[in-house]
Structure 1
Amino acid sequence: LWVYDPTGDVERDFVTISWVQAVTGCLPLLVATIIVFAKDLKECLPSFKYFRWDKATGVLSLGILFLVLQLLYMIITVTNEFFISYFFDPSFVVEYQIYIKIFSIAGTFVSLALIPVWSAVTKAFVEKRYDWIIKLVRFLYFVAGIAVLFQLAIIPFLDPILEFWLGEKAIEVNLSAALLFALLGCVMIWVSVLTSVVNGLGTLKCQLYGFLWAVLFKVVAIVLFSSWIPWTIVITATIVGLLPYCVWQPVVMNRQLKMLNKEAFQNG
């Protein structure tokens, strides 16, 4: 067991913690991979003799697209503190973190529940069980609806929740800010449901355009309106930027699934 002992040098401590985080995150996976391929999956050991450029191009193209989508999604979701600090005041980051922690609880549970959906949808897609995917999508819409209701139900109880959590350091609830964060949580839940399905289907064009628009809109809106709108413009810009994707992706996805299911039914 390694115990970290701070030296008092902030820069050095930060680098040390970064190295520890990198090693502890990667080393167990590396060791486990070596053990698994040396024993249980010995016959599946990767080899350069099986390498094919034509196959690699397709895999890498899809992988790069997923990487771009992840980068865009990171800009949408993890840059809020930066924008608030840069365009407004770092003190508002504290208020932001309090709201976001509360209104991301439902989204966190939904995201955990959605972990196996991607692979399950991919398997069903390969097996042409499109009717099963359609039923799954309807169920996920129902789950998202329950999570959205939970998000909105938090608002009336926000004062006692903050007092219980923060005690004397509890902030005064801003109802408009609370509504915005509740809406942001609802949007992120909906986005999680949609992306878990379309990622499994491998149809990423709508997601790419939607996320790209959300990033551009968010940055431009913050730059243009930050001088005369409070820091909550960061949240508003995120919500409004994602709305076109939230509306258009289900239309495209449902149309694709119905078409595939109809073709599979006609082909017997």
Structure 2
Amino acid sequence: MKIIGRLKFLFQKEKQIIMNVFGSFFVKGASMLLSLFTMPAYMRFFENDAVLGIWFTMLSVLNWIIMFDFGIGNGLRNKLAVTLYNGEKEKSQEYISSAYVSIAGVAVLIGLLYMVMQYFLNWNSILNVSMDSISSSTLRQSMNIIIIGILFRFVVGLSNSILYAMQKSALNNFLVLITNFLIYIYVLCAPNNTPEKNLLNLSFAQSILSNVPLLFVTFYLFLKPLKEMAPNLKKFKKTSAFEVLNIGVNLLWLQVVAMIVLTTHPFLITRLVGPQQVVEYNIYYRIYTTIASILSLALTPIWSAVTKAQGQKNYNWIKKLYGLLLIFPVITIALDLLMLPVLQIFFDFWLGNGSIRVNASAVIVMTIFSALYVLHNVNTSVNNGLSYFKFQNIFMSLAALLMIPASIYFCMLMGNWTGVILACCVVILPYELVQPWVTMKYLSKIENQNSTISEQLY
């Protein structure tokens, strides 16, 4: 009954969140169907598990680069959520213009640095790829193509932050679905060449198709709903840029340490046990994180909604919301256990009979990881919305320091890729358990302070 009461309370206070959640669930359902077809398509396209493992590792490494935007996107998201709600069009335009100028400068700077550094980078060594599989020149060309695409995405990707600030998170998920669908169509229809030619062609496709939907939305936003707030070089303000960066730098650091802990898995598996095992990891990862991601969809609009509620000093609403969201990891474990009896049947249907056998240690480790993954998203969504970073910084920084040595130890212990995932679970567990207690205490303290101030005024 308490849960039903909280749901009614939240629905009355913020119907837009509920609409975004339902929209996101619909889109994610389509994404799940698409992912079922994408993995077999990739396996047919490359035919060689080692090369496919290289591709997945490349994508994970290059996704790290997206993090290095000095947190400008997330800083804009937090600031813009308040100014848009208050109807401050001029201030909103200053934040938007300052963010676009800053991110363009970051993209140019990274591009120039990479132009110099590329001659000193041995990607075959970095990715643990034999030259018999992919030549150094081909691998360098592929990395160059994707990095150019990512630098362009730095700029057009700010439209994501704006949509979040407008509390249109379902549309963000729809853009991801469109991109993945376009890439799936390419992989399905592209002519099959040599592994090296396939890698180069897919690099081109990835760079172009990941940017087209974002470019379209950018033009739409500033020609229609935000026409009066379109980026303008004359509206660039150093103070606005620093305000965005002040929050952004904290978020950037948290992104970097979270990246080390949560998104370096393919790279660490490649280095510690070989690229071939990245394929099996990806199979389990896609299944278990899909279940976790479905629940995490409800968290997509939470960040900006919490920022808005904080501006309204509605801390009681935030506490009730947080309490409800903390149930999500338990639901994740229940769904994972329900899936277990049919997992082998699903593998055979999805990838072909005998393509992969259910691994007990993989199932246990991925079940724990998916629950912690959801809990991590709950904690970060609420605390990032509050701009409350203290304990995140401490615990996640420590987790990042321990991730690599823990992975080495557990890979030696387990003898396969599950050691990396187990290491991840161990290092993030302290943060996930401590943060809810700390945040609830923090919210109660602020709520009491505001009540005292109100009593003194009246």
Closer/same/farther in 2, CA of residues 80 and 36 from structure 1, 3 Å limit: closer
Aligned partner (choices 225, 231, 235) of residue 421 of structure 2: 235
Equivalent position amino acid for 1:265 in 2: S
8 Å contact kept, 2:328–2:374? no
CA distance in 2, matches of 1:199, 1:62: 9
Closer/same/farther in 2, CA of residues 116 and 213 from structure 1, 3 Å limit: same
Cα displacement string for residues 71-122 of structure 1 (whole angstroms, at most 9, x for unaligned residues): 3323222322232232224443333233223322321101222111111111
Deviation larger for 44-53 or 186-195: 44-53
Counterpart position of 1:131? 316
8 Å contact kept, 1:151–1:186? no
Residue 26 in structure 1 maps to residue 211 in structure 2: yes
Closer/same/farther in 2, CA of residues 85 and 16 from structure 1, 3 Å limit: closer
Residue 112 in structure 1 maps to residue 297 in structure 2: yes
8 Å contact kept, 2:395–2:431? yes
Residue 266 in structure 1 maps to residue 452 in structure 2: yes
Deviation larger for 238-247 or 15-24: 15-24
Counterpart position of 2:249? 64
CA distance in 2, matches of 1:32, 1:162: 37
Closer/same/farther in 2, CA of residues 40 and 107 from structure 1, 3 Å limit: closer
The TM-score with structure 1 as length reference comes to: 0.86
Counterpart position of 2:363? 178
For 1:119-198, list aligned pairs within 5 A: 119-198=304-383
Residue 251 in structure 1 maps to residue 437 in structure 2: yes
Identify unmatched segments of 5+ residues in structure 1.
none
1:32 is displaced (CA, Å) by 3.8
1:10 is displaced (CA, Å) by 4.7
SS in 2 for 1:211: helix
Closer/same/farther in 2, CA of residues 222 and 55 from structure 1, 3 Å limit: same
8 Å contact kept, 2:302–2:381? yes
1:224 is displaced (CA, Å) by 4.1
CA distance in 2, matches of 1:87, 1:76: 15
1:221 is displaced (CA, Å) by 1.6
Closer/same/farther in 2, CA of residues 159 and 116 from structure 1, 3 Å limit: same
Equivalent position amino acid for 1:105 in 2: T
Equivalent position amino acid for 1:87 in 2: L
8 Å contact kept, 2:375–2:432? yes
Closer/same/farther in 2, CA of residues 5 and 236 from structure 1, 3 Å limit: closer
8 Å contact kept, 1:118–1:199? yes
Closer/same/farther in 2, CA of residues 226 and 148 from structure 1, 3 Å limit: closer
The TM-score with structure 2 as length reference comes to: 0.53
8 Å contact kept, 2:288–2:367? yes
Identify unmatched segments of 5+ residues in structure 2.
1-181
Cα displacement string for residues 7-31 of structure 1 (whole angstroms, at most 9, x for unaligned residues): 8365455344333333333344334
Closer/same/farther in 2, CA of residues 208 and 6 from structure 1, 3 Å limit: farther
8 Å contact kept, 1:131–1:261? yes
Residue 77 in structure 1 maps to residue 257 in structure 2: no
Superposed CA RMSD in Å reads 2.7
Counterpart position of 2:403? 218
Residue 44 in structure 1 maps to residue 214 in structure 2: no
8 Å contact kept, 1:83–1:234? yes
Closer/same/farther in 2, CA of residues 18 and 85 from structure 1, 3 Å limit: closer
Closer/same/farther in 2, CA of residues 160 and 72 from structure 1, 3 Å limit: same
Counterpart position of 2:284? 99
1:230 is displaced (CA, Å) by 1.7
Closer/same/farther in 2, CA of residues 155 and 35 from structure 1, 3 Å limit: closer
Counterpart position of 1:17? 202
* Displaced runs of 4 or more, over 4 A: 1-7, 9-13
CA distance in 2, matches of 1:176, 1:28: 39
Equivalent position amino acid for 2:388 in 1: T
Equivalent position amino acid for 2:419 in 1: I
Equivalent position amino acid for 1:97 in 2: N
Counterpart position of 1:202? 387
- Tell me the percent identity: 35
SS in 1 for 2:435: helix
The number of aligned residues is 268
Closer/same/farther in 2, CA of residues 62 and 156 from structure 1, 3 Å limit: same
Closer/same/farther in 2, CA of residues 64 and 11 from structure 1, 3 Å limit: farther
SS in 2 for 1:104: helix
